[in-house]
Structure 1
Amino acid sequence: MFKKITTNLMVNDVQETLSYYRDVLGFELVGAVTYDQDFLPSPAPDMPLAFAILKRDEVQLMVQSQKSLSQDLPCFEGMAVGGSISLYMEVDQVAHIYESLKDKVEVVKDLHKTFYGMDEFYIKDCNGYVLAFGSKIQ
């Protein structure tokens, strides 16, 4: 039985990514791992990190530095950060979220109604990943 899927994004800098997701998107840190494989629930802002888990409500996201991920899985060696993936988050009150973010982020597609019954918008995060936010049209 499949249980769930959690995205692990390869990033340039875990601390920078943590700051972006926490300060701009309202995520919180679950925990982080140093390059020495120490688990830290609350690392110092200047500490180099290999990995972190972030969450907001029911959404969980893992981020791992390019260096660390390439060591764990050599198939990632030389791959570019960011790319051909978009993460779609179903949210409540997408218009409110759009208004609170639009001047702080790179919006790649403004808030719009879709033929499949969603209000949604898309942004690009600090690593070049596309994040979608959508709510069912009421």
Structure 2
Amino acid sequence: MSKPILAGIAPQVVVSDAKKTAEYYQNVLGFKLIGFFPSEVSTAYVMLKRDGFQIHFGGAEDINPHINDRIRCGTPDFLIWVPEIEAFYEEVTAKGAKIQQEIMQRSYGREFIIEDCDGHWLHVCD
């Protein structure tokens, strides 16, 4: 019997308005809509994908989204590896992404940070 191999992982994040978040991830970050469940409303469950990777959001009214940086300073909510970091930076900034940290060189590579429409930090690394 062969060893099972993980084929993917999809974070599930609770947000105050799943429809608004889905629009942001599509229009600014280039994700494609998989679908809403049960329908396209703010409290729906929404699934998005880009380049074979998925992210899911569940809408819940009257909540303050969990933001890692509020609990542990400097901790992003997502890490994204993009070898073509300059091209991705240009793509998302042209679409209005809020940049918390410009591209900078670190000992392990280059990185920049995007803050999404809910305040989550996406740490982009090459």
TM range (shorter): 0.7 to 0.9
Output the TM-score relative to the length of structure 2. 0.78
Residue 80 of structure 1 is aligned with which of 41, 64, 70?
Answer: 64
Residue 17 of structure 2 is aligned with which of 10, 13, 17?
Answer: 13
- Structure 2: how far apart are the matches of 1:121 and 1:48? 29
Q: Alignment RMSD, CA only?
A: 2.2
The one-letter amino acid of 2:67's match is G
Q: CA deviation at 1:114?
A: 1.1
Residue 105 of structure 2 is aligned with which of 104, 107, 113?
Answer: 113
Q: Structure 1 stretches of 5 or more lacking a match? A: 35-39, 68-77
In structure 2, the CA distance between the partners of 1:105 and 1:82, relative to structure 1 (3 Å rule), is: farther
Matched, 1:96 2:90: no
Q: CA deviation at 1:2?
A: 7.9
Q: Structure 2 stretches of 5 or more lacking a match? A: 69-75
List 4+ stretches of structure 1 deviating above 4 A: none
* Identity over aligned pairs, percent: 25
Deviations 1:65-85 (A, max 9, x none): 124xxxxxxxxxx76214115
Residue 28 of structure 1 is aligned with which of 18, 28, 32?
Answer: 32
* 8 Å Cα contact 1:32/1:49 also seen in 2: no
Aligned pair count reads 114
Match of 1:62 in 2: 56
- Structure 1: how far apart are the matches of 2:36 and 2:10? 16
